[in-house]
Amino acid sequence: MPVITESAKLPFEEKPTQRAGRIQWKELAKGVAGAADNFEFNIYRFFPGYTTPRHRHNWEQMRFGLNSELTYEPGKVISNGSLVYFPEGAYYGPQESPVISDILLLQYGGASGQGYMSQEQFFASREALMKTGEFNGGIYTCYDEVGKKHNQDGAEAIWEHVFKKKIHYVKPRIPESVKFQVDAFNWVPSGIDGVEEKLLAVLTERRVTAAMVRATRRTQLKVAADQRQLFFTFKGEFGVAGKTCGPQTSIYSDRGESLELTLEPGWESLMITLPQLPN
C-alpha cells in the first residue's frame, strides 16, 4: 500500500546531528536500508546556529524551501518555493541558518549505485563513534593507537563506519548544486486531462524527475506501477485509498503498487520520480 503521511498532524522531533547546531524533523517516507535505491523523505527544521563546513556526499539530495533562509553556498539561499539539487560527489557549503528554516528534504542513493544509509544506521554509527572520538563543527576528531590526531568530515566518518570501507566519490555528473526558481516556470498541459505541470528537471541517466503538478478541475491521476513516486501537496485536497487529504500530505508509491488520486480543483503538489536503480 502507498505510504500516506499527513505531516500537518505530526509534531517536530529532535534529530541528533554530527553538525554544529540543532535540527528537528518529521519523518515522511523511506526505502529499504542496504538497498542501492534506498531513500528518505522528511521535513527538516534548522535552527539559528546550525552550520556545516564545505563537504560532499556519495549520494544525492533535493531540498525544497517551505519557510527557509538556509544558505547552502556563500550568497546562495534555499528560499521559499525554490528547489535545490545537490549532485552526487559535488561539494557544497558552508551552510548556515540565520533563522528557523523549514526544508522538505529528499536524500537518496545516487546514480553510481552506492546507496544511502538509513537513519537507524546513522544514529547507531554516530553513537559508536562518540565512544572513540568527538563531533565538533561538523568534523569528527579521534586519535589512533600512537596518539596521532585525525580529523574527518562527520558524515564521511559515519558512512565509513557503517559500510566498513573507504568512501568513494565519483566524478560529479553536475559539478555544483543547482537551484530551480519554481515560480519562473510556466504551467503547461501534462497530457492528463485536467492536470497541468511545471517540469523542473530530469536528472542523470537514472531519470530522476522533479515537477510541480496541479489540477484545474476534478480529475483522476494514476501513477505508473513500474515507478517509485513521491508527492507532497502544498494546496488543495485530494482523495486516496478512501480518505480525503489536504495540504502538507506526502505520498510514496513503490514499484508494483497501484496508486490513483482523485484531485480536486486547486490541488497543487511537488512530484518526484525516484531513480531507476537495481535493488
pTM of the model: 0.90
Dihedral angle over CA of 263, 268, 269, 271, nearest 10:
80
Q: Examine the pLDDT at 278 and tell me if it is beyond 80.
A: no
Neighbours of 45 (CB within 10 A): 22
Nearest to 219 by CA among 272, 273, 267, 270: 267
pLDDT in the model for residue 205? 94
Q: Examine the pLDDT at 252 and tell me if it is beyond 90.
A: yes
Average pLDDT over residues 37-57: 94
Neighbours of 132 (CB within 10 A): 10
pLDDT in the model for residue 279? 60
Nearest to 83 by CA among 212, 229, 268, 208: 212
66 SS3 class: strand
Cα–Cα distance measured from residue 232 to residue 173, given in angstroms and rounded to the nearest whole number: 27
Give the pLDDT band of residue 241 (cuts 50, 70, 90).
Answer: confident
Cα–Cα distance measured from residue 136 to residue 142, given in angstroms and rounded to the nearest whole number: 11
CATH number for domain 3-116+171-179, candidates 2.60.200.20, 3.50.50.60, 2.40.160.20, 2.60.120.10: 2.60.120.10
**Maximum Cα–Cα distance across the chain:** 70
Q: Examine the pLDDT at 20 and tell me if it is beyond 90.
A: no
The amino acid occupying position 187 is W
Tell me 20's DSSP state: B
Burial class (CB in 10 A: 0-12, 13-18, 19+), 224: exposed
The tens digit of pLDDT for each residue in 131-168 reads: 999 988 778 999 988 889 999 988 889 988 988 888 88
Average pLDDT over residues 214-236: 94
CATH number for domain 183-273, candidates 2.60.120.10, 1.10.3470.10, 3.40.50.720, 3.90.1170.50: 2.60.120.10
Nearest to 203 by CA among 65, 61, 91: 61
* Domains 3-116+171-179 and 183-273 in one fold: yes
Give the pLDDT band of residue 27 (cuts 50, 70, 90).
Answer: very high
pLDDT in the model for residue 207? 93
Q: Where are the domains of the chain?
A: 3-116+171-179, 119-163, 183-273
pLDDT in the model for residue 120? 85
Q: Which grid coordinates are listed for 103?
A: 526544508
Q: Examine the pLDDT at 258 and tell me if it is beyond 90.
A: no
Cα–Cα distance measured from residue 66 to residue 138, given in angstroms and rounded to the nearest whole number: 24
pLDDT in the model for residue 36? 87
For 111, phi then psi, to 5°, come to -65, -25
The tens digit of pLDDT for each residue in 53-96 reads: 899 999 999 999 999 999 999 999 999 999 999 999 999 999 99
17 SS3 class: coil
Average pLDDT over residues 20-43: 93
Neighbours of 13 (CB within 10 A): 11
Nearest to 176 by CA among 67, 90, 256: 90
Nearest to 213 by CA among 255, 166, 251: 251
pLDDT in the model for residue 19? 80
Give the pLDDT band of residue 121 (cuts 50, 70, 90).
Answer: confident
pLDDT in the model for residue 156? 87
Most confident segment among 9-18, 107-116, 150-159, 204-213: 204-213
Tell me 74's DSSP state: T
